Amino acid sequence: SAEHASHEYETKWLRVWSERPPVRFDISRADPVTKVYNLVEFPYPSAEGLHVGHVYTYCGADALGRYLSMNGRHVFQPMGFDSFGIHTENYALKIGEHPKSVTDRATANYRRQLGRVGANWAWDVELRTDDPAYYRWTQWIFLKLYEAGLAEKREAPVIWCPSCLTVLAFEQVDGNRCERCGTEVTTKVMKQWFLRITAYADKLLDTLDDLDWPELSKRLQREWMGRSTGADVVFEVQGDPEVRLTAFTTRVDTLFGVTFVAVAPEHDYVKTLIERAANGVEVAEYVAEVAQRVGADRYTNIGGSGRPGIVTDVMAVHPLTGRQVPIVVADYVLAGYGTGVVMGVPAHDERDHRFAETLGLPIVTVVAAPEGEGVTDGAYPGEGALVASEEFTGMGSAEARTAIAAELQARKLGGAVTRYRLQDWLVSRQRYWGSPIPIIYCDRCGTVPVPESDLPVELPEVAEVRPTGTGLSPLAAVPEFVNTECPSCGGEATRETDVFDTFVESSWYFLRYPSRDHTEGPWDPEVTARMLPVDIYAGGREHTTRHHLYARFVTRALYDLGLVPFPEPFKRLRLHGLLIKDGAKMSKSRGNVVNPDEYIDRVGADSLRTYLLFCGPWEEGGDFTDRGLHGIVRFNGRLGALVRTATSGGPGADMRRIDRAVYKVGKDIERLKFNTAIAEIMSLTNWLRDERKRMTADQWDQARRTLVLLIAPFEPFLAEELWEYLGGDYSVHQQRWPAYDPRALVEDEVELPIQINGKARGTVVVPADSAQDDVVAAALKVNSVVDALGGATPRRVVYIPRKIVNLVV
């Protein structure tokens, strides 16, 4: 078709560029001042191939990279594959193929697609996370964290995906569904490997402010980590001197209103309750019921299906009054937050109120609502003066919080604490397609890390990779893998059989790219010092509380261990907006997913790239319509034809319009406002078409070269083709970004007559829209005016913009 013929040159230039790369990044010569580490999120190679959302991210980053490169920066733009993980494995299982061969095929397809897009990837350092040469170092990093006490295996309530048959990290649950497969999750108590990200909560929170990141990312990370200052309150248990239940509260001022103590169904103490309570059987049934129950209400207690909880006859002792209150098991208490125990204050907390009302527990008001302040759902959650609170009565809430926390502290029954919503990062998975966790268990020596010289622990090639659902990974059924020798005593020992979640692999991949072939360690310290941190990272907002957070944590921990010389991995983070198709979210079920291959076949990569960046502000997203895309195809046709038009040689034109465009396009690209940059190029193109005949031959030559340079970041193929047509040196991508004359940015200048007391005394040339003060200052420097004034200062000024300035003395 005509459309097809119009972009045939793309294939030609791909070939030429691969034989003679126009811009090549030389790591050995990179210096920290001129290098730009321009990182994009690497994809996991799925069977569906590259998604247009990837292309959207990548062409924005590539346009910026090409622009910076034309401005003399050395731009490092690596690409790789996040090739381990449940996603690939689930697909492999579905089609009955081994994950390795699925991954190989998908990776090859991605590489082909990524190539067609025309981005300037540093393919010479491509990496794959399922490569033993890569995950060897993932294991190494894990062992460093283990030595530092930041990795531990412990029993805890964890989230289980009944379809993926593995545990998940808290971060991998979206609205109570598994992030990978969409199935509703349940909870289980299991022994798992955790990375202690909570130990870094303060550091990760406190350094957020200084990052050049979108405010949205900072806010979401802050909320996710959820620092909350409050108090721990210890309740002793009647008749069980061994046990102390610690509740976390942000409202210790309401302590005298406690009428029950609620524990999470997964809390350790529930086992004892089942034995001790008169209704222990009922408690056991309830716990089993909650574990089976799925749905958002389990975590938010909104809508609350099923019973809200069970009241027992086991009593807790109030730490200040000594009064007894019942211990209850309630589903609204989360096992993973705070201490998993809540002091129930039904008069002042809505959830406690609902619970007390349903189960007939007393409600005791201890904070007086100020006149006119509303009560919601029966509770008054606000602050005020304390009532019925012994010696604290009459104090305001804030004052009471300090005083009561101090009293608890003095009695060794609690005190002020800071807690976080953030939980430790669960990294073990009961699956096959991941890096083995480099740990050995020995009956005599306990938990023994695999010695560095034995890394990597390679993932064995096995035929049966199906998850077992028993809580053990398929590797547990491979005796040759499991049975080993204890590195410490040489006796019989067994290997850990769980594998790492893929987020562990992606938490450090950016450290590896510049040192990809380094074999002495995960990175070459000398190269790292020159190449990192990442200067700009482009990606999606779905990673804010997962990948971006994990990468910050791992980098920070490595920094504290002296292994990298910087605490933050990504100086600047930029997130692309959501791309929609014809006004609707793209999804397979709607059948409106834009397939980049199809579109590149039809209109070429240049038009697709340019349209993606034109259809909306990159950071906000845009609406992709085929009509809009064809507008770009037609524009490219007109632009090509215009550049190929010779001039007859006119009398000469005012060329300042071009300087202004050069300036604006550059500024817009720097701010990632690609859409307005492209709009400016379009407007310039129209102007050139109208003005061409007036230009001299030299002017026209200059003008069309400039136009071709301006499109180079967006349309690398068309720019190369037209540059060659104009007889430019190979390649357009080795050219400098055009210079502009800053004087041309000033819109028009005018020559103003200067009068003194109504008499003409000279003229001054000023920008047309100058302010009065600037005009007067300029006028007072004109020789004839200085003479005429003879040292006098004007009393009054009459300034009519663009017309006249009259000085009255």
Known binding residues: 588
For residues 361 and 527, what is the distance between their CA atoms, to the nearest angstrom? 66
Q: Please, which residue, 352 or 659, has the CB nearer to ligand ANZ?
A: 352
For residues 763 and 441, what is the distance between their CA atoms, to the nearest angstrom? 92
The binder of ligand ANZ chosen from 114, 314, 328, 343 (CB under 6 A): 343
Residue 340, binding choice from Zn ion, ligand ANZ, none, Cβ under 5 to 8 Å by partner class: ligand ANZ
Shortest reach from residue 621's CB to ligand ANZ, in Å = 31
Residue 251, binding choice from Zn ion, ligand ANZ, none, Cβ under 5 to 8 Å by partner class: ligand ANZ
Q: Does 309 engage in binding with ligand ANZ (CB under 6 A)?
A: no
Residue 254, binding choice from ligand ANZ, Zn ion, none, Cβ under 5 to 8 Å by partner class: ligand ANZ
Size of the residue set binding Zn ion (CB under 5 A): 7
For residues 417 and 467, what is the distance between their CA atoms, to the nearest angstrom? 41
Handedness of CA 624, 628, 634, 640 (dihedral sign): negative
Residue 489, binding choice from ligand ANZ, Zn ion, none, Cβ under 5 to 8 Å by partner class: Zn ion
Q: Does 445 engage in binding with Zn ion (CB under 5 A)?
A: yes
Binding pattern for the stretch 347-386 against ligand ANZ, x by CB under 6 A and - elsewhere: -xx-------------------------------x-----
Q: Which of residues 260-289 bind ligand ANZ (CB under 6 A)?
A: none
Non-local CB neighbours of 192 within 8 Å, separated by 6+ positions: 153, 154, 155, 156, 158, 167, 426, 428, 498
Place of tokens 């071709």: 708
Non-local CB neighbours of 470 within 8 Å, separated by 6+ positions: none
- For β-strands 324-330 and 260-263, DSSP reports them as parallel
Q: Please, which residue, 341 or 605, has the CB nearer to ligand ANZ?
A: 341
Residue 334, binding choice from ligand ANZ, Zn ion, none, Cβ under 5 to 8 Å by partner class: ligand ANZ
Strand partners, 188: 158
Contacts 24+ apart (CB under 8 A), 482-486: 484/440, 486/440, 486/442, 486/444, 486/445, 486/448
Shortest reach from residue 347's CB to ligand ANZ, in Å = 8
For residues 500 and 474, what is the distance between their CA atoms, to the nearest angstrom? 14
Q: How far is CA 550 from CA 183, 261, 535, in A?
A: 24, 35, 18
Size of the residue set binding ligand ANZ (CB under 6 A): 18
Q: Does 74 engage in binding with ligand ANZ (CB under 6 A)?
A: no
Q: Identify which of 223, 206, 252, 149 has the alpha carbon closest to the alpha carbon of residue 420.
A: 223
Instruction: Please say whether the beta carbons of 502 and 434 come within 8 A.
Output: yes
Segment contacting Zn ion by CB under 5 A, of 66-74, 198-206, 440-448, 533-541: 440-448
Q: Does 331 engage in binding with ligand ANZ (CB under 6 A)?
A: no
For residues 396 and 704, what is the distance between their CA atoms, to the nearest angstrom? 74
SS3 471: coil
Containing 783, the helix (H) or strand (E) segment is helix 783-789
- Say how many CA atoms lie within 13 Å of 402 toward its Cβ: 4
Shortest reach from residue 382's CB to ligand ANZ, in Å = 9
SS3 234: strand
Binding pattern for the stretch 30-69 against ligand ANZ, x by CB under 6 A and - elsewhere: ----------------------------------------
The binder of ligand ANZ chosen from 45, 78, 319, 340 (CB under 6 A): 340
Letter for the amino acid at 336?
G
Q: Does 442 engage in binding with Zn ion (CB under 5 A)?
A: yes
For residues 553 and 200, what is the distance between their CA atoms, to the nearest angstrom? 7
The binder of ligand ANZ chosen from 27, 68, 164, 345 (CB under 6 A): 345
Shortest reach from residue 486's CB to Zn ion, in Å = 3
Q: Which of residues 195-254 bind ligand ANZ (CB under 6 A)?
A: 228, 248-251, 254
In which region does residue 611 sit, left (phi positive, over 0), alpha (psi from -120 to 50) or beta (all else)? alpha
For residues 342 and 320, what is the distance between their CA atoms, to the nearest angstrom? 16
Shortest reach from residue 494's CB to Zn ion, in Å = 11
Residue 574, binding choice from Zn ion, ligand ANZ, none, Cβ under 5 to 8 Å by partner class: none
Residues within the annotated binding site for ATP?
588
Q: Please, which residue, 345 or 361, has the CB nearer to ligand ANZ?
A: 345
Letter for the amino acid at 685?
T
Segment contacting ligand ANZ by CB under 6 A, of 169-177, 269-277, 344-352, 792-800: 344-352
Q: Does 580 engage in binding with Zn ion (CB under 5 A)?
A: no
Residue 345, binding choice from Zn ion, ligand ANZ, none, Cβ under 5 to 8 Å by partner class: ligand ANZ
Q: Please, which residue, 211 or 445, has the CB nearer to Zn ion?
A: 445
Q: Which 8-state DSSP code applies to residue 733?
A: G
The binder of Zn ion chosen from 489, 697, 768, 798 (CB under 5 A): 489
Q: Please, which residue, 7 or 298, has the CB nearer to ligand ANZ?
A: 298
Q: Which of residues 775-804 bind Zn ion (CB under 5 A)?
A: none
Residues that bind ligand ANZ (CB under 6 A): 228, 248-251, 254, 332-334, 337-338, 340, 342-343, 345, 348-349, 381
Residues binding Zn ion (CB under 5 A): 442, 444-445, 486, 488-489, 491
